[in-house]
């Protein structure tokens, strides 16, 4: 089996090295190579591990868990819920910004790029890191979920005082991977227009995150963009 040596931030590479050498990850890589030969796949290869590049392991303060990358052209850039500058804000992100304004009084930005959050310690992780163009969920159950579950387990095991934001049932299914005695778990409905009125609006997760971090002696997150 050929060794896999992905381009990923060095701290993450050390923590996850065994995963990259495992049989499931080799199968996942084979699947992705074949997919790219026949279909457009998002995000581009250089951005698959973008969340890991922007938020080194040692700097993780908050984990925000999404499900799938966006499947429209130009939307996905490896950070959950985020889109590059110049791409219209998706509805869930619009609702995230509404809650941020209601919670902390921060007005919605003109764009949907969350890189500044990532650079400040908000790890924007999707459970599945790739998708076929225009086919949501098309890369589920190919190995990514195993990998990202291991990522969550490593954060839980090797760090302390991290806030895990679990929005929606899919994210909340990962709750058992987190040691709640060492970390804060905040749960709410998904910010999608279908569910935001049923427990996402009013959750005040941004201020609650900062209150917990400060209690741990960790600097709060600057949520402005």
**Residues with catalytic annotation?**
68
Name the E strands within 79-157: 122-126, 131-132
List the 184-188 sheet strands across, edge first. 122-126, 62-66, 163-167, 184-188
SS3 state at 117: helix
Whole-number Å distance between alpha carbons of 173 and 120: 26
Residues paired with residue 66 on neighbouring β-strands, in sequence order: 126
Nearest C-alpha neighbor of 144 from the set 80, 92, 101: 80
Whole-number Å distance between alpha carbons of 124 and 105: 22
Nearest C-alpha neighbor of 121 from the set 29, 203, 221: 221
Q: Tokens at residue 172, please?
A: 């909340």
Half-sphere exposure of 196 (CA within 13 A, CB side): 14
């Amino acid at each position: 089996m050929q060794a896999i040596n992905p381009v990923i931030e060095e701290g993450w590479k050390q923590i996850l090295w065994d995963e990259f050498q495992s049989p499931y990850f080799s199968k996942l890589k084979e699947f992705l190579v074949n997919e790219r030969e026949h279909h457009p796949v998002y995000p581009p290869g250089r951005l698959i591990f973008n969340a890991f590049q922007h938020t080194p392991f040692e700097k993780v303060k908050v984990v925000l868990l999404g499900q799938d990358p966006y499947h429209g052209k130009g939307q996905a850039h490896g950070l959950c819920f985020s889109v590059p500058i110049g791409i219209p804000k998706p509805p869930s992100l619009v609702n995230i910004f509404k809650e941020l304004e209601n919670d902390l009084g921060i007005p919605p930005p003109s764009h949907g790029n969350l890189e500044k959050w990532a650079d400040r310690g908000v790890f924007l992780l999707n459970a599945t890191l790739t998708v076929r163009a225009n086919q949501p969920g098309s890369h589920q159950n190919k190995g990514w979920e195993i990998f990202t579950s291991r990522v969550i387990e490593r954060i839980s095991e090797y760090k302390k005082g991290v806030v895990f934001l679990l929005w929606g049932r899919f994210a909340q299914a990962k709750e058992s991977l987190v040691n709640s005695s060492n970390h804060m778990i905040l749960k709410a409905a998904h910010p999608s227009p279908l569910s935001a009125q049923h427990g996402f609006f009013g959750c005040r997760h941004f201020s609650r995150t900062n209150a917990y971090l400060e209690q741990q002696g960790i600097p709060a997150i600057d949520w402005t963009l």
